[in-house]
Structure formats: C-alpha cells, structure tokens
Structure 1
Amino acid sequence: MPDPASYRPRTGEIPTDPGVYRFRDPHGRVIYVGKAKNLRQRLTSYFQDPRHLTPKTRTMVTTAGSVEWTVVASEQESLQLEFTWIKEFAPRFNIMFRDDKTYPYLAVTMGETYPRALVMRGDKRKGTKYFGPFYPAKAVRETLDTVLRVFPVRSCSAGVFNRAQRSGRPCLLGYIGKCAAPCVGRISPEEHRELAQELCDFMGGDGQRFIRELERRMGAAAAEMDYEAAARHRDDIAALRRVFERNAVVLDESVDADIFGVEEDDLEAAVQVFHVRGGRIRGQRGWVMEKVEDVSLEQLLEQLLQQVYGEMDDATRIPREVLVPELPEDAEALTGWLAERRGAKVKLKVAQRGPKKELAGTVQENARQALALHKARRAGDVTVRSAGLQQIQDALGLPEPPLRMEGYDNSHVSGTNVVGSMVVFEDGLPKKSDYRRFKVTGEAARDDTSSMYDVISRRFQYYLEELAGEDELSSGEVSAEAATPARFSYPPSLVVVDGGPPQVAAAQQALDDLGITEISVVGLAKRLEEVWVPGDEFPVILPRDSEGLYLLQRLRDESHRFAITFHRERRGKSMLTSVLDDVPGLGPAKKAALLKHFGSVKKMKAATLEELGEVKGVGPRLATAVFAALHDDAA
C-alpha cells in the first residue's frame, strides 16, 4: 500500500490558481478527478494525518501513487475539464450515476438521408434527436403510432426500406397512409426531411402551431364544402391532442424545465427528474447510486448535472430552467457551462413557491420512494443478505455469521426524558416482535455512556435471569410459561451500538461486569461509517459499497428511529402533563383523549376553543380551562 508521504508534492510547488487534479495509482490509472478554486489549499488537505481523513479519502490517498494538476483560467473551465476527465477515465473514486432502468425514447434519425422515427432505449447516437424519456414504454409506442398519422415519416428498418426500393412497392404503412413512402419516390428526400423536422418541432413542444394550422385547413375545407378533407383534418387534430392529453398539464405552457429530487442516506442516493416541456410532464427518469465518496448534497448535485447534461449529445434539449432541491457548489460556473452547451440562457434555481414548488415536492417524494423500494428489494434478496452477514463475520473475525444481531441507541434532549432502544435483526431482517424500549432514569441518565451501560446491563441481566430459570428445571421438564418464548432468552451473536469508542467501551464493560464473554460488541459511528471494536485504536473500515456495511447501517438506523419514536412519545406526554397538571377536572383519561385527538401539544395549542370542546368528555367549561392553561403557558 503506497504511503501518501512518498508522493506528496512540496507545498510551495503547488499553485494557488484554480485547476483540476488527478490522483493515479502505481500502475498509472486515474482513480480520482477533482477541481479546486485554490489547488494548493485543496491538495494539501489530502496529505494531513490519515486518522483525520474520512474513510473514503484515506482509502483513496493510500491507493494512489502520484498526483498531478492542470491550471485553468476560470472556475467554468475547471468544471468543463473535470467533466471531460471523469468521462474519459471513469475514476473508481468519483460518483458515477447510472440509470436504475433503461428508458424508451421517441427518436428521429436526422443524420440519415431518409430520417426514421422509432423507439430507442438510451441516448448515445449522434445525429439522432431524442424525445422523452417516456414511462411506461407503452406510452412511447402509442405516441409514435398517433403522430405518424399526421407526420407520416419513415419508421421501417433499413432492410425493409431497401427491399421496397428494389421492388418499387411500399410496405403496409405506405398503403394505409402512415408513411409518405420515400422508398418509392412518392416524396422527395428534401420533402421527407422537412416532414421529419416538423415531427421534431411538434415533439419539441411546438404542438399548438400545428394544431392551429390544421384547424385553419379544416375551416377552409368546410367552407369549400370539401367535407372529406375537413373530416381528415378533424381526425388529425384529435390525434395530436391525444398526444398532449397523455401528459398532465402541471405548469404554464411557456415552462420548459427539468425538475430534480434527491433522497440520500450515508451510503446511497436516489435521484428522480421530471422533464416538463410546454407545461406538461413529458417524461420521468431515475438513478440509484452508491456513494463511494463523502459528499454534501450540493456537491452531489453538481456532479449529477455535469453527467446528465454533459453526456447529452443534442445539447439543445437542455431546458431553459433546471430546478434543484439546493443550489450546487459553484452554481454560477455551472450555470455558465450549461448556457454554453445549450447556446442560450439557462436558469439554475430552487423552486420557492407556487406550482413549481408543489411539483418539486412531488419529484422529491418519488425520489424518497425510489430509495425505499431499492432498499426493500436489496434487503429482501436472500443471497445479498447472506453475503452481508459473511462480510461482517470476516471483517470482525467472528466464529460464525451473526444470524441474530441487536442494535442499541439512546435518545434525549439536554439530558431529559432519556430512553434507550433495542432492535433485533435475524437473518438480516428486522424482527419487530423482539424490539424493546428502556426508560433511563437517575444517575444512569447523566450522559450517553452511562445510559448505554444501563440499557445493556438491564437487557442482559434479564437474559441471565431467564437463563437461570431454565437451568433450575430438571431434564425433560417444561415450565408453565414455556408455551411462549421468554422475552430475553435469545442471546445475539453481535451487539451493535450507535456510536464510537466511548459507547463501545460502555457496552463491553456492561457485558464484562455480568460475566458474559461469548457475545461480540461493535459500534458504528454515523458520520464516517467506521466500525469500532472494543480496545482497538483504529476502526475496521468496510468498503462503502459492501453489503456488510449496508446491513450494519440498516440495523443502526432502525435502532435510532425506534429510540427517537419512543423519546417523542414520552416527551409529548410529559409536556402535556406539565402544561395541564393544574387544570381542575382534567384527569389522566381526558388528558390521554386530548393527546390522541390532536396528536401533539403543538397542535392542541393551535386549536380553537370550539375544537377543544369537540373532544369526547371535554365540555365547554373544561375546554375553556384547557384553552386558558395552554395559552397562559405559551405566554
């Protein structure tokens, strides 16, 4: 493993200008590309004490064997060069967004002598204009079938086209009016190209112009009493309107925008984008990616937009507006780069109000559900779960895979209402019937380590007591309670606490004090996703994309969620008690009824006197007293 000090450049040799840098491994392969406003400041940050680096960065600098840089004139140039190198080298330590599925596009091959309209997946061929993506795939096929009625562009393969040219007879589509039959000379190459361009203009959002023209022709034909032609134009108008009706109107007709939503956790991110053209949602696209580096949402969005629009062959498809959840880093340079690629102004902004903000919320919800679905499918895969358990066993040196793991966390606000949680995963899946909650009081609630010691001690004290009860029975004897398993009688193979060395030491001390030696303890620190083992100075680093780390993270996050839920419940009850203790005639049952009806003290305070009186058992006089108590407290 290379030592970063062996290839560290002298600080004075590194320029302070903006630029782009590359880390290469000992074999010369580029493993990371980055940009910086100040190259010296950025590069020296990689060569500090390795213990202070994030796991990803530490792995990258110890994998690399050299670093090089290129100075540029501006931040916009550095953005362009960074993207060019990422695309060229595909560095392993850079985030790479990949579609979670392949989407169908309506494509028109304008680079051919006789342009062809067809359904394509992907977005890579030069000289081809793409419209979409469409979802589901049925939508693009129905759209193509409909528009060919009005714009009868060639849609056949090269083989069919050449065969028709040789025979002098068009295919079936030529006979039924869904192809202008350029193969047999019914239309010249120039006229056919013009027809294909009209199809592109229509699909590009200029549909109303064609509809208005058809309406004019229909009126003229009717005035001349050519009712057959008028009927054809009427049917063509209906066909074009059907294309529009398939896409919901969500914004003003003048709006062309791509709206992005991002949902992320420490290991993965899901991205969704809605393509709005002419105020209608014309397509939807999504990605799910592994986060191989520690980046903020702003950095992630910058890399996302670089890849989405940098790989777009037809840059005219970049919309006038790009709406994002947060402005990326170097938003000004990124906006300039997008405008340069599009050849016209591009607005990069966050939706603040109105229909755009509502639609942005919908896109964000789609991203949230996409990440949840991805996690559920990943967790439901038996092979994947087994691999995760095996990785945990190998990394921690356990005698067997941890088929039962217990996760622990504490929750409190300034040391009040301290609670602990215990969640259980068996075979890599949550076993919610075995979840437990703990109230932590007295001296045990003074800090996180004391709380963790208390919760672990109590859980395994119960385990020892139930174990002792079983041992007292003679061989073959069954206790009266044996019909249902004892609550704490199953020991885990692995205890996972939320935290670093202090929490791990407290949990291990609790087991040691109880004389339990067969159960392993580790801690998972949130920010850096490091696995801490009792007594070790350095953490165990699992690869960011490993199933083992993913499984430990799910266990840790579930214990955190369970602890937070219990804490909020207790806090809500204690707040309600403190506010309403002195209200005459309000006993525990009516307090509970109030809390159940409104859900929280905050909502109760926002209620009117009449709404308080609607609660069962709360009459006008009691409602008045409750209202006064709540608002006296607020004052």
Structure 2
Amino acid sequence: MSPSPRADVLPWRPKAGEIPAAPGVYRFSDAAGRILYVGKAVNLRQRLSNYFQPLRSLHERTRHMVLAASKVEWTVVGSDVEALQLEYTWIKEFSPPYNVKFRDDKSYPYMVVTLADEAPRVMVTRNRRIPGARYFGPYPKVWAVRETIDLMIKAFPIRTCSDASYKRAMQSGRPCFPGQIGRCGGPCSQRVTIEEHREIVDQFVAFMASHDRSVITLLQREMKDAATAFEYERAAKIRDRIQALENVLEKSAVVLAEATDVDVFGIEEDELAAAVQQFVVRGGRIRGVRSWVVDKELDISSGELVESVIETAYETEQPPREIVVPVLPDDAPALEQWLGDRRERGAVALKTAKRGEKAALLQTASLNAKQALALYKTRRTADYVARSQALGELQEALGLDEAPLRMECYDVSHLGGTNVVASMVVFEDGLPKKSDYRKFAVHDTNDDTESLAQVLRRRLARLDEDETPTEAEEGARPRRRFAYRPGLLIVDGGQPQVQAVAAVLDELGIDDIPLVGIAKRLEELWLPDDPFPVILPRGSEALFLVQRIRDEAHRFAITFQRQKRRADIGTVLAEIPGLGPARSRELLRHFGSVARLKAADEAEIAEVRGIGPQLATAIVARLGGGRRREDGEA
C-alpha cells in the first residue's frame, strides 16, 4: 500500500524561484543516491511544479515516486534537442526504476556484407559495429536471414566462408571447403578474381538495397543472348540466378511505392504495459519485423511512450527518412532533429497516417502489437513462479489470512442502458477456470452499482451449494456446483461499486469472504470502508494478475452483451415484412455489426444483395438509425 503522506508538502521541495524557466533535464533520487526517475522539460520550473502539487492531488504512481525521493536535481541545456539527448544518455546510464522499461529488447539478426574486406563476405550477425560493413534487416529470426542469403548467393555467388578459411585457401591455392561444395563464390573458390568478385558484391548490395527488377531484366537479356549463341549451359546458370532473385522478391511483400523507405510502429498499450511492432520497409517492401514489450512504471501519455520507443529503436540503428507512429509526441520537432543527427545524410520526418497505404500498414502493425500484448499477458500469467508470487503479494497487500487461491471477478456491460448483462469469471491458482464462468442477465435497472448488487445477491444466495453435492439421479455420481468458496471477490469499479457489494454481504450475513474493487484508470484497489486505496507496485505480479482477471471479466461481459444484442436485432428484423432469415443474415454479414447496420442510410442498405429500395426504407424506419456507443467499447 502506498504510504500515507504525513504532510501535504515535501520537506525537500526546492523553492519555485530556484528552478530555472529554461529547457533542461531533471532527475529524482532517493536518500541512498539512487536515481529514481529522469525526465526532460522545455520549461523546468513549469514541469517540476507538477510534481510539487498537494500530494493528495498527484497521480498515485507519481506520489509513490516523489515520496520515495529525497531530492531533485536538474541540468539546464541550450535547446530541446540537447535536453532529449541528455535525457536519453542518463536513462541508459542509470536505468531509473520509474522510467519506461523495455522487455524482450534483444538484438535482432542482420544480413551483413563486409565491404571493408579484400574479398567481402556475406553472413548473419547481431553485431552492429563491424567497420565498413553494409547491413540489411533486421530480420525476425536467424533462419529468415539464412534463407535470404541462400537464395541470394545463387543469383550473386559471393564469399560466405570464414576469414580463417579464406586466408588458408588463398595461401594454399586450394579452394575453401564451402567453395568445394558450391557454397562460396569468393576468390578462395578459385572461380573468380578479386576484381570480378568485387563487381558481383556490388551487384549483390545494389539489389538488396533497392530490390530493383531491372537486374532481372538484364539477366533475362543475357540468358537469351547465351541461348542464341548456343551456350546452353551458361543460359541455364543465368536462368537459375533469375529464379533465385524472383524467389527473393516473392518473400518480400510489396506494401508501398518502390522508392519508399519508412519504418512503421504499431503500439498497443494498457495501464501497465505496451507492445511494439516495427515494420521495416525498404524499397516499398517489408524487409524486417521487430517486436518488443514495454513495462510502464509511471502513467505516461501515448506521446511520451512513442518518444521512448523511438529512442530505443534507434539507439544503434540509422533511422530511415520517414517514420510513421500512432501519435506524435509533444516535442516531435526536437525528436526529428535528434533522429536526423543519427542519420548519415538527409532529414527524418516523424508522421502519423490517417488514410492510404501507410495507414493500412500502421493498422496491420497495430493489430500485430495487440496480439503480441495479449500473448505476453497470457504467457506471464501461465508462469508458475509468477503466479505464486502474485498470490503471495495479494495476500500481503490486502491483509488476507491466506492466499486467494480462488478469485471471482464481476463486471457489468450494457448498451446505452439497454441489454444490461454481467459476467463472473473465475481464476484458480492464478489461472482462468472457464468451466466456472457465469453470465447474468440483469433486469429492472441500468445502474452499474445496483446491477452488481443484484448479481452478487443471486450468486451468494446459493453459496452454501458450493459445499453441498447436488441431487443426482439414482446411480449417478453427486455433482458439486463449485470446488470451494471464493477466497476473494473482485468487482470492476471503485468505492461506490465496492460499497454496494459490501452491503449485499452484510445483508446475507457473509463475513468470511474478502472483497476488493479495481478502478480502471489508476489500477488501484479499494477495500470496503477504507478511504484510501491499496496501491500495488507498478510492474508487480500481483497487479498484473488482478488486471488480467479484470480484463477477462470485461471481455466475457462484452461478449455476452453482443450475443444478446444480436438476438434482439434478429427479432426486430424478423418483424419486417419481406425480410426473412436469409436476408437478415446477409444484412448483418454485409455491415459486420449491428451498430453499422443501424447507422446506415437507405442507399447503403439498398446495395445489399436481395434488398431493394422499398425494403431498405422499411428497415431504416424500423431500426431508427443513428449511432449508439457500447459501454466499455471504443
């Protein structure tokens, strides 16, 4: 639980007049001198004043950080760009616990051509510091680089052997072993001179840099000339080179215009973590994909997250001319200048994309990021050590007598006050037990607190049946409703929702089941009759597990709500003369959702197969039109 402030003012707070109103970088540190957080500001006085507001008005995570700190120091710089560079340097040097953390930020494999060598070699590497080398990638997996190299050396036979093999072959006059089996095309294979090999290397690099089909056109012309001259063996070799290049092109999806070099970042985030998906597009083709997960220690904006992602992505990489991101950070011009300084020549443009091919690619990257975040959560939840740690942390934070081995979480969903439903999801030993999930239809109310009270009253009124075998037919085995009573009840909401459910527990005389509510925005836990929330440490396994349970209850409730809505719309459509089941299905298939169907006009509905203008008019009149927003959905 976050410590309660004894005073509303931090004793070490500097005077406002002492803080310069200039750009700079600041760092909070604790009594032991450990750097807790590093940030930058266009105006240091204005930014730091946000941390020194009354403690009760601060964001919970920020309050936790400033209460752990014992001082703040700052360094004034000359410009926004200098502030960005210094902040980046300090974050890398000190690894502050309250700054964004990057998980799975491993180095990715590249294809590299060692142009500084006498006979350049193509190979797979994760080392980005080979002098004079030309890099291509990154690639998602090592096998993807090797596969590309295998195809490319069939078209451009260049050296693949190690430096030791090359030196030994050149001294002895005997081909290197890869050359003997046709895997190396360098001078050590005794097939080409150093000058001829250099020319082939230049062709290799030029094709990898541009994927220009004109190379194939030239080879096709050479093949025809060889065939005309009855040099069939040479023509066959050129044919094989052409096929190899075609295979390389086929494996690189064309997504944008041929001259386009751009990196596209899809980001999916929640309160605790974010997943990043980077598409590397060169010559209009996706040349590499990179993904990683970010732990968010403080409640930062999407723009600040984008900034941290960009800084990490180009720590050792040279940025392209254009970078597409979901949202622009506040200091995008400074970030563009910082990126431009890391580029050999030319400026870097940081953009968003709202329409067109780049927007479509951004949407695909964002979809991949969403799936990556879901997978990350699933894998983390499935880890036995992490689950055990989470349950222990929950027991300690909530003051429970024992770890909550069975947790039930409840959520309410509705559409504009109609079709009110609720969900109950169950986690046992930190894992979902879907056989125990329950769905509830809520009647006579559209108030969230009253809906939760109604659902919990129905669930807890039959609590004793959990311990008593149900009646069974003669000869059948007795069946239990649930294995055992819940060790913790969780409701989606803050104090009002918790108090409503606590009243139900009192009403039913239940005093041995703990209750807690989780508020969405701050991820804080509320206990009955406690004016202060429990704040679990950011990044803790306990907070991660509680958030996962809450999200699962929300998903299950939304799914049930949609099912009821589809059933309701089916009944309404069936009442329209001339609109049978087949046409109703076609309508829903065409528009994809009930909301889009209700928002469509007569002309749009008339375009559906089997629906004419007259029937479209009847459908619009019956549905009423207009858009309504589902509670809990964007």
Q: TM-score, normalised by structure 2?
A: 0.84
Partner of residue 253, structure 2? 248
Partner of 1:510: 504
Structure 1 residues 571, 412: closer, same or farther in 2, change over 3 A?
A: same
1:545 aligns with 2:539: yes
CA contact (8 A) 1:572 1:601 kept: no
- The aligned residue for residue 281 of structure 2 is 276
**Contact 2:456-2:501 within 8 A present in 1 as well:** yes
Match of 1:92 among 97, 110, 131: 97
Give the Cα separation in 2 of the matches to 1:264 and 1:612: 39
1:565 aligned to 2:563?
no
CA displacement, residues 482-511 of structure 1 (integer Å, 9 cap, x when unaligned): 956465784211001112222222222221
Does structure 2 conserve the Cα–Cα contact (< 8 Å) formed by 1:576 and 1:601? no
Match of 1:399 in 2: 401
In structure 2, C-alpha distance between the alignment counterparts of 1:271 and 1:122, rounded to whole Å? 22
Runs (5+) with no aligned partner, structure 2: 628-634
- Separation in 1 of the partners of 2:261 and 2:583? 50
Contact 2:160 2:183 in 1 (8 A): no
1:338 aligns with 2:339: yes
Match of 1:528 in 2: 522
CA–CA separation in structure 2 for the residues paired with 1:431 and 1:539: 28
45, 65, 70: which is aligned to 2:70?
Answer: 65
Q: Which whole-Å CA distance do the structure 1 matches of 2:198 and 2:43 have between them?
A: 50
Shift of the alpha carbon at 1:356? 2.8
The change in CA–CA distance for 1:611 and 1:62 in structure 2 (over 3 A counts) is same
Distance in 2, Cα, partners of 1:483 & 1:10: 75
Please give the per-residue CA displacement for 1:428-465, whole angstroms capped at 9, x wherever unaligned.
222233333334444xx37433333333223212325x
1:181 maps to a residue whose letter is: P
* Contact preservation (8 Å) 1:605, 1:631: no
1:105-504 alignment, distance < 5 Å: 105-112=110-117, 114-121=119-126, 123=128, 125=130, 127-175=132-180, 176=182, 178-181=184-187, 187-188=193-194, 196-205=201-210, 207-208=212-213, 210-215=215-220, 217-218=222-223, 228-312=233-317, 315=318, 318-342=319-343, 343-412=345-414, 415-442=417-444, 445=445, 447-464=447-464, 466=465, 470=468, 483=477, 485=479, 487=481, 490-504=484-498
Change in Cα spacing, 1:106 to 1:628, as seen in structure 2 (3 Å) is closer
> Residues 178 and 126 (structure 1 numbering): CA distance in 2 closer, same or farther, change over 3 Å?
closer
Q: Secondary structure at the match of 1:17?
A: coil
CA displacement at 1:629 relative to structure 2: 3.6
Q: Does the CA contact (< 8 Å) of 2:578 and 2:615 recur in 1?
A: no
The aligned length equals 613
> Contact (CA 8 Å) 2:110, 2:137: kept in 1 or not?
yes
Give the equivalent residue in structure 2 for 1:617: none
Determine the C-alpha separation between the residues in 2 that align with 1:185 and 1:570: 73
- C-alpha contact (below 8 Å) 2:174/2:188 kept by paired residues: no
What's the counterpart of residue 619 of structure 2? 627
Instruction: Output the CA distance in 2 between the equivalents of 1:493 and 1:17.
Output: 54
Amino acid at match of 2:295: E
Structure 1 pair 601–356 and aligned structure 2 pair: CA distance change class (3 A): closer
1:408 and 1:421 in contact (8 A); partners too: yes
Summarize the Cα distance change of 1:206–1:438 in structure 2 as closer, same or farther, 3 Å threshold.
Answer: closer
Match of 2:37 in 1: 32
Deviations 1:368-398 (A, max 9, x none): 2222222222233333323322221222222
Aligned mates of 2:513, 2:426 — CA distance in 1: 14
The match for 2:630 is: none
Does structure 1 residue 600 correspond to structure 2 residue 594? Answer: yes
Structure 1 distance, partners of 2:117, 2:57, is 57
| CA gap 1:534/1:481 in 2 versus in 1, 3 angstroms | farther
Is the contact made by 1:153 and 1:178 (CA closer than 8 Å) also made in structure 2? yes
**Secondary structure of 1:553's aligned partner:** helix
CA contact under 8 A between 2:262 and 2:321: conserved in structure 1?
A: yes
Distance 1:226 1:12 in 2: 86
CA contact (8 A) 2:185 2:191 kept: no
Q: How does 1:15-30 map to 2 (within 5 A)?
A: 15-30=20-35
Alpha-carbon distance, 1:399 to partner:
1.9
Alignment-mate amino acid for residue 423 of structure 1 = V
Counterpart residue type for residue 157 of structure 1: S
CA distance in 1, matches of 2:335, 2:475: 68
CA contact (8 A) 1:463 1:489 kept: no
CA distance in 2, matches of 1:91, 1:380: 28
Report the CA distance between 1:405 and its aligned residue.
0.6
Instruction: State which drifts further: 340-349 or 32-41.
Output: 340-349
SS in 2 for 1:263: strand
Cα 1:200/1:61, change in 2 over 3 Å: farther
> Cα–Cα, structure 1 residues 451 and 185, in superposed 2: closer, same or farther, change >3 Å?
closer
* Deviation string, structure 1 residues 269-318 (Cα, Å, up to 9, x no partner): 11112212222221111112222222222221111111111321xx2xx2
Equivalent residues of 1:35, 1:78 under 8 A apart: yes
Q: Structure 1's 324 and 230: CA in aligned 2 closer, same or farther, altered over 3 A? A: same
Distance 1:455 1:330, change over 3 A: same
| Cα 1:391/1:208, change in 2 over 3 Å | same
Deviates most, 357-366 or 597-606? 597-606
Shift of 1:526: 0.8
Bigger mean CA deviation after superposition, 13-22 or 452-461: 452-461
**SS of 1:92's equivalent?**
coil
Residue 632 of structure 2 corresponds to none
**Range with bigger deviation, 268-277 or 48-57:** 48-57
Give me the CA root mean square deviation.
Answer: 3.9
Q: Confirm or deny: 8 A CA contact 1:269 1:288 kept in the other structure.
A: yes
1:45 and 2:50 aligned: yes
Gaps of 5+ in 1: 615-619
Cα distance change, pair 257–515 in 1 and its aligned pair in 2 (3 A)? same
Indicate conservation of the 8 Å contact 1:580/1:626, yes or no.
Answer: no
Contact 1:612/1:623 (CA < 8 Å) preserved in 2? Answer: no
TM-score, normalised by the number of residues in structure 1: 0.84
1:106-136 per-position Cα deviation (integer Å, ceiling 9, x unaligned): 1223455554321113545554432122344
Deviation at 1:596, TM superposition (A): 10
Q: Taking structure 1 as reference, are residues 256 and 582 closer, same or farther at Cα in structure 2, changes over 3 Å only?
A: closer
SS in structure 1 at match of 2:268 = strand
2:88 is matched with 83
Query: Structure 1's 161 and 178: CA in aligned 2 closer, same or farther, altered over 3 A?
Result: closer
Percent of aligned pairs with the same residue?
50
1:519 to 2:521 alignment: no
